[in-house]
Amino acid sequence: MATRRIVVDTNVIVSGLRSRRGASYRLLSLIGKSPSFEISLSVPLVLEYEEVLKRQTRELGMSRGDIDDVLEFLCSVATLHEVYYLWRPVLRDPQDDFVLELAVGAGCEAIVTFNVRDFEGAEAFGLRVEGPQAFLKRIGEVP
């Protein structure tokens, strides 16, 4: 079976770090370990992860150093991509276009997000847009 390539939206990362229950945490715990999928990252997405996570250190119960460790881990196990072609504007929220551009440029099959409606139009690029629970269920990682 081929390894699925995905982009994980920032809201899923935040949710997975906020609670050890639920699909987001399960997804995070499988990153770099599961042969079923790999994540794709770009510099803009890592910078967004960093900005959002460091703004929420208190709520997450993590230090800035802890956040740096998480980001370093994600970068070490992800496939890193430079995005050369911009598809803007496509999505309802222009702030999400860089996530779509990464997914297209990296040849991903899915964007995993809680904001599925914000990514309407991604299907035109052959992408699935689904929440972490639906993604994990589809790949057989949860019943």
The 10s digit of each residue's pLDDT in 49-68 is 999 999 999 999 999 999 99
pTM of the model: 0.94
Residue 126 φ/ψ, nearest 5 degrees: 80, 20
Tell me, what's the pLDDT at 94? 79
The Cα–Cα gap between 32 and 47 comes to 20
109-122 pLDDT per residue, tens:
999 999 999 999 89
The Cα–Cα gap between 94 and 116 comes to 15
Average pLDDT, the chain: 93
CATH superfamily ID and name for 4-138: 5'-nuclease (3.40.50.1010)
